[in-house]
Structure 1
């Protein structure tokens, strides 16, 4: 009986996708015409006097762009004067905004704020819908800027980039998906022809690699394909790390696209999740939300409340406003690379050096 229900649900999904397919063809056709116009030079792309590395995808939703961007920042920001530029999804402001110690997620978005909390003055973080205008403003503010990393800029064709890194999830690779609204693709699969490398994210431990041909048939040439996974760090808050006790109870708070990997991680650590407050991706928390969580915490013997770092940067200002800190924690994440990490980093750095050398020759 259960198998029949699963089959019925699957059949309904397929039927719905077929119904939406004409709209997907229309949406994909519009983006294809736009890309063709850029390829032919009918729409102008701007080349700016910095090296530009783009981290993005061709699917809507989270593919692990922010932790991968953080990896690139850790690798290159110490070598080259660097800034990361994002659209700042979910922010309440418009135009160019440079992140400062006083910035909030409402001003710059949660992911840029998360990147800024790790900057420690080594790199700048800014947001702007218009990436060309954003880079130009960064150059005004940081005249010796050498490298700009575009966080989620794969479809932003107005700015030329030296390296395009395409991210795709292991469990839902782009080549097996459909264009919006039938699927989650922002453009047809051949958008991958613009990629200089493909990074498969959220790869389960000991998982078999995807068939490389399935990826490379959509790229312009044979390019590096790497596999990464999510690695969780020690649970912590502003006071330091926290060591969980066996079978300790916790309340989980998530405002991300897919909380299941974190749920699985906590379960693997024998943490008993007795309640989950699950919000939509990029959710803006309110004092009412915090009070609801606090009421549940107080009613359950002060159980620990744990969340992602992306949620933490939005919640912590509210906790400070309420003078709260005890029993609230977050789990940081970073990228772990299964494949030859140096291969990708060498590819990226070679492109950066070539670009900077050309700039030097023209000055």
Structure 2
């Protein structure tokens, strides 16, 4: 493994240098960043792959949509469409991507969900189609610098902080660590309940000295089946996941004394097929005492296949919420101050 990393190191330097050059040209305004007439929050990371962006984005949407007319804009990774798509009741994962669909299922009319590869074009479409839009949250937009933002939120995992990682392909970073200097606050995700603080000196070696560091964790909700939360007792599951890291879920189940007798572990954003469901059905028939359990992100993709396959919907999923270890009000206040400043400036210039 070390030998392979040594071989990959020159490519990491090249990859990082290209990203740094691009960022430098944005800093010099040689590459243009566009200012849109709404407050913009960016939620992102330096690492390629999952760092808990969706739960944190959901947390922001739940809170700020109560005060501002809000929309979330994502690239829609894994979708089979292109261009701008505004989510509606008929949207599928194929049309908008699994994570945006998951966000939309929680919206209940409180906020809007859209996808577009071009964040500037996407924001412009949102402003045209949603009169009075005040706040746009960019999901996974840290490296997308064509659109200016009022708050840059950098997420990093507790067990794999960015300051210990390296640029692709040696490590998993999309750019050099010093990209953290663009952050207005750092949020450490997937922190244990009894966690020790990370090395804040190491964080601020790359991020600006004065920015706050907050700690969050994934909190699992009640098992849900056919829209009903609170499934009866069980001690064995057939686990089906298509997420970046299923480790925390496996740890949670083990702590609850639930045995995973079979784990069908697909790649992140995996698009399930009828064959996949039939394989799970056969496993369930051989293990009738086991419940089929999946994540909410996977659930929104498998539900449409049940009718197509003629399979009874016996699966259940486990939702996740965000637990804030540090001062929740302080975290929200920092963000809200930036939002109100931006909205006031728009009023003053109107």
TM-score, scaled to structure 1: 0.95
1:357 CA displacement? 0.3
- The separation in 1 between residues aligned to 2:137 and 2:157, in whole angstroms, is 21
- The separation in 2 between residues aligned to 1:148 and 1:78, in whole angstroms, is 14
* RMSD, aligned α-carbons: 1.1
Aligned partners of 1:55 and 1:69 also within 8 Å? yes
1:267 CA displacement? 1.3
- The separation in 1 between residues aligned to 2:347 and 2:310, in whole angstroms, is 52
The match for 1:343 is 330
Matched, 1:119 2:107: yes
Partner SS for 1:252: strand
Aligned partners of 1:174 and 1:189 also within 8 Å? yes
Aligned partners of 1:303 and 1:327 also within 8 Å? no
Give the 5 Å matches for 1:266-305.
266-301=253-288, 303-305=290-292
- The separation in 2 between residues aligned to 1:168 and 1:205, in whole angstroms, is 16
- The separation in 2 between residues aligned to 1:346 and 1:136, in whole angstroms, is 27
Give the 5 Å matches for 1:316-327.
316-327=303-314
Spell out, residue by residue over 1:45-66, the C-alpha distance to the aligned partner (whole angstroms, 9 max, x if none).
0000000000000100100000
Spell out, residue by residue over 1:73-127, the C-alpha distance to the aligned partner (whole angstroms, 9 max, x if none).
1110111000000000011110000111111111100000000000001100000
TM-score, scaled to structure 2: 0.98
The match for 2:230 is 242
The match for 2:339 is 352
The match for 1:26 is 14
Aligned partners of 1:80 and 1:147 also within 8 Å? yes
Partner SS for 1:293: helix
Spell out, residue by residue over 1:188-214, the C-alpha distance to the aligned partner (whole angstroms, 9 max, x if none).
000000000000000112121101111
Aligned partners of 1:55 and 1:165 also within 8 Å? yes
Aligned partners of 1:312 and 1:330 also within 8 Å? yes
Give the 5 Å matches for 1:93-108.
93-108=81-96
Give the 5 Å matches for 1:31-110.
31-110=19-98
Change in Cα spacing, 1:232 to 1:325, as seen in structure 2 (3 Å) is farther
Aligned partners of 1:192 and 1:219 also within 8 Å? yes
- The separation in 2 between residues aligned to 1:307 and 1:344, in whole angstroms, is 31
Aligned partners of 1:234 and 1:332 also within 8 Å? yes
1:270 CA displacement? 1.3
Equivalent pairs counted in the alignment come to 350
Aligned partners of 2:85 and 2:114 also within 8 Å? yes
Aligned partners of 2:42 and 2:151 also within 8 Å? yes
- 1:170 aligns with one of 120, 134, 158: 158
- The separation in 1 between residues aligned to 2:64 and 2:283, in whole angstroms, is 44
Aligned partners of 1:302 and 1:327 also within 8 Å? no
- The separation in 2 between residues aligned to 1:138 and 1:95, in whole angstroms, is 13
Any gaps of 5 or more consecutive residues in structure 1? 1-12
Partner SS for 2:6: helix
